[in-house]
Amino acid sequence: MADHRTSAGRGIDLIWPGELLSPFRPPILIYLDLNHWINLAKASLQRGSPQYDALLLALRAARSRRSIRIVLSISLVEELSAIKNPRQRDELVALIDELSDFEYLAGLGDVFRLELQTFLNTRMGGRGMGWNPIPLVGRSMLHGFGKVGDLKILKDATGEDITDQARAKPFRGDPSWFEKLERRAERELLAGPRDSDIEELRAAGYRPERPRQSHHNNVLIEQYFADELLDQHWRKGRLLDVVAARHVSLELIDMLTVELMARAITLSEVMSATTHVLELPLSMPASAVFVGIKTQYHRDRNRKWTDNDLHDISAMALAIPYCDVVYTDASVRNAAITAGLDKLMGTRLPRSPLEMAQLVEQANGESPSD
C-alpha cells in the first residue's frame, strides 16, 4: 500500500488518524461500486459480458489465495436496499457472500471524528474528547453504524451471556455452526426483508422511507446550492474554498464544537495555529475526498443531483483514502482523477473491468492478462 504521506492541494499536508486501525497488507483492500457488483452478479449467473466474466474469475482466484479483501460500506447497503426486486437483491448478496466476509468500512461519521481529533491533537495538543481507536474494517454491517456486530446468545431470563460456550460447542456434529449462523444473519441483514414480511415489520415500527427521505432532502439542498447560490464567478474561481467551508459548516461543525468545548479553546485559536484557512478540512483524508469530488460535481452548472451522487461521495470519502483499489463508476472516477485524489491518496482507480482484472491478478502474483 502506498505511504500516503503526500501533500494535499495548496500545500496542505494530509494528517492520518492513528486511532483508525488499518489492517495489515497484503491482502490489499478493494472497494467495488454497486454497478460493478450488479455486472459481476450477472456474470456469476452466465448473463454477463466477457470482461466481467474475466474479472469474476480473477476475483475468485485472488480470494482463494487470500491476496485481496473486498470491503463494503453503509452507502453500498443503502443503494442496494433501494432495489425493489427481492430476487435481484438475493443474487447480489449471494455474490457478496462469496467474495467478501461481510467486512465493512467504519462509518463515515466515525472516521470524520477521528480525523478531526488527530488534526486538533497535532495542531493544538491535548486530548479533547479522547475517542478510542476503532478498526477501519469490521466483520459486520453494524460496524459501519459504529456498533459491535456478532450474534449474542443469552441464557434464559437470567441475561447471562453464553455466546462463547455456544460457539465452542458443536451443534448436531457441526463445529462451525455458529459461524454459519452469523454469516446467514449478515446475509439476510444485507438482503433486507421479504415483501411478505413488510406488513408485520411496519406494525413493529419499520419505516425505511424516513432515512431515505432525509437523504433525498440533502440532495434537494445540494441542488438548491448549485442552482441558487453558486454562479459562474465561483465556479471558475475559488469553488474549492466555498465547498470546503460549506463542508465544515454542514458535516463537521457539531463534532468540531464538541471538541473545542472539551479542549476549552476557540475556533479562532485553531485557525491561528494553521498555515492555511482550508487546512482543517483538506488535511483530513476523508474530508479531502468528500470536498474534492463535490467540487468537481459543482463545476457543472447543469448537473442534476441524484440520491446516488451523495451515496457515491460518501462511499468514496472512505474508500479512496483507505483502500488500495477502488472500482467505481465513470462519473465518480473522472471527478476523483480530475481532483488529483488518486495520486494524492496513492489509490488505484481502474477504468475498465479488464484493467481491474489486471490489478487483481497482480495482487494475486500472476502475470497481467493480455
Cα–Cα distance for residue pair 109/89, rounded to 1 Å: 26
DSSP bridge pairs for 104: 72, 138
Spatial separation of the C-alpha atoms in residues 254 and 237, rounded to whole Å:
29
Query: How would you classify residue 187: left for phi > 0, otherwise alpha for psi between -120 and 50, otherwise beta?
Result: alpha
Over residues 282-304, the mean pLDDT reads 96
Q: Which residue has the cell 478498526?
A: 135
Higher pLDDT, 174 or 362: 362
pLDDT number for residue 370: 38
Read off the C-alpha cell for 68. 485481496
What CA–CA distance (Å, rounded) separates 258 from 276? 23
Q: Average of pLDDT values for 212-227?
A: 94
pLDDT-based confidence at 152, cuts 50/70/90?
low
pLDDT of residue 4: 44
Residues in the chain: 370
What pLDDT does residue 49 have?
93
User: Does the structure show a pLDDT above 60 at 1?
Assistant: no
Mean of the per-residue pLDDT values of the chain: 89
Q: What is the mean pLDDT of residues 117-137?
A: 93
Which residues are 325's β-sheet partners? 30, 348
Q: How far is CA 134 from CA 24, 255, 317, 330, in A?
A: 15, 17, 17, 32
- Between 298 and 168, the more confident residue is 298
Asked which of 94-98, 160-164, 247-251, 334-338 is least confident by mean pLDDT, the reply is 160-164
Q: Which cell goes with 296?
A: 468537481
Count of C-beta atoms within a 10 Å radius of residue 91: 20
Name residue, grid cell 457472500. 97
Is residue 247 within 8 Å of residue 292, measured between CB atoms?
A: no
Residue 17 preceded by cis peptide, ω within 30 = no
Q: Strand pairing partners for 174?
A: 171
Query: What is the rounded distance in angstroms from the CA atom of residue 270 to the CA atom of residue 267?
Result: 5
Rounded-to-integer distance, Cα 97 and Cα 158, Å: 35
In SS3 terms, the chain reads as CCCCCCEEHHHEECCCCCCEECCCCCCEEEEECHHHHHHHHHHHCCCCCHHHHHHHHHHHHHHHCCCEEEEECHHHHHHHHCCCCHHHHHHHHHHHHHHCCCCEECCHHHHHHHHHHHHHHHHHCCCCCCCCCEECEECCHHHHHCCCCCCCCEEHHHCEECHHHHHHCCECCECCHHHHHHHHHHHHHHHCCCHHHHHHHHHCCCCCHHHHHHHHHHHHHHHHHHHHHCCHHHHHCCHHHHHHHHHHHHHHHHHHHHHHHHHCCCHHHHHHCCCCCCHHHHCCHHHHHHHHHHHHHHCCCCCCCCHHHHHHHHHHHHHHHHCCEEECCHHHHHHHHHCCHHHHHCCECCCCHHHHHHHHHHHCCCCCCC
Q: Is the per-residue pLDDT at 156 higher than 80?
A: no
pLDDT grade for 8, boundaries at 50, 70 and 90:
low
Closest CA to 115 of 342, 346, 318, 272: 318
